[in-house]
Amino acid sequence: MKICFIGLGSIGTRHQRNLVKILSERGIAYEIHALRTSNRELPDDVEKLIGKQFTSYETMDNDYDIVFITNPTNKHYETLMNVIPKTRHIFMEKPLFMDLKNGIESISVKPDSVYYVAAPLRYNAVFPVIEEFVKKNRVYSARAICSSYLPKWRKNIDYRDNYSAKKDMGGGVSLDLIHEWDYLKLLFGKPRKLFYLCGTKSELEINSDDIAVYIAEYTDKIVELHLDYFGRRSVRQLELFTESGTMKADFISQTVSFDNGTEIKDIPVNRVNDPYVLEMNYFIDLCTGVKKDNLNDIKTAYDTLKIALGESGDLE
């Protein structure tokens, strides 16, 4: 496989390591290139695997099997449009774009190609348990939260210099934490009506939104979502309220419990594999034809982006 990474920050290097591990286990030969506009030093194990480095789209090769788009969100649309002619398949880091102004009508996808947008929370060990619970119980209400402290996100990097802190680079919790809307939409579909508030309310030295709150109305339920950059204790949880009781899933501890009002029971979770490794395996299965159904293609990811950005009106 001939592969090119565009952007090799923390998430790009993670994907490169996982990809190399998986291709090696499958006995698939690979050649890795990179397009980089930064002089930042790369980890030795990442650097040594890069056969060629480019600084512009014009100098890239034109015959890649896969291109990974893992640069800042504000560059995603431009990058996608430039690399579609140069590759068969594309893996794009979330979110798809930083806004809705370009749409997806102008994107000429190749019919036999895979265009996959990252959605790693789907591969967290608790998610299959949540899916099964939702199938078997009528949910009246759901309450989700993702709260963490941005300065502690990335070791040895000043949070003020990272794209998350900068609105014009696609930073802000609505985009950065789009994982939540990805899995909520997968569980419940698109809401009928959406209320959305966001802003910068903390003392963090950023100009991107550090809090977003959503209330989504469905025909048979209400869903609440809270996102922030300033919670000192990391929390990533979902509560589901049903007639028989309340289920609570914790994506960080990978635990699930059920409270029927008289006792709390733990629901078994198979915590074995790294979600990012599972996702990369799934993507390679798509590219090699082992699996056919792309669960998060450009259209699906764009619909999620519309909700995350609070698009009003009938979303069904």
| pLDDT averaged over every residue in the chain | 95
pLDDT attached to residue 203: 96
Do 115 and 179 lie in one domain? The reply is no
Do 95 and 139 lie in one domain? The reply is no
Question: Quick check: is 91 in a domain?
Answer: yes
240-267 pLDDT, tens digit each = 999 999 999 999 999 999 999 999 999 9
Do 140 and 254 lie in one domain? The reply is yes
pLDDT attached to residue 312: 52
221-242 pLDDT, tens digit each = 999 999 999 999 999 999 999 9
Question: Quick check: is 276 in a domain?
Answer: no
Query: What's the whole-model pTM score?
Result: 0.93
pLDDT attached to residue 313: 46
Question: Quick check: is 291 in a domain?
Answer: no
Q: Return phi, psi of residue 123, to 5°.
A: -100, 5
C-beta separation of 96 from 117 below 8 A: yes
CATH number for the domain harbouring residue 198: 3.30.360.10
Cα distance from N-terminal residue to C-terminal residue, the chain: 40
pLDDT attached to residue 66: 98
pLDDT attached to residue 106: 87
Do 126 and 115 lie in one domain? The reply is no
Q: Are strands 230-242 and 246-250 parallel, antiparallel or unpaired?
A: antiparallel
Question: Quick check: is 257 in a domain?
Answer: yes
Which regions of the chain are under pLDDT 70?
312-316
- Measured CA to CA, the distance from residue 34 to residue 55 in angstroms comes to 9
Instruction: Tell me the residue range of the domain where 55 lies.
Output: 2-119
- Measured CA to CA, the distance from residue 206 to residue 189 in angstroms comes to 33
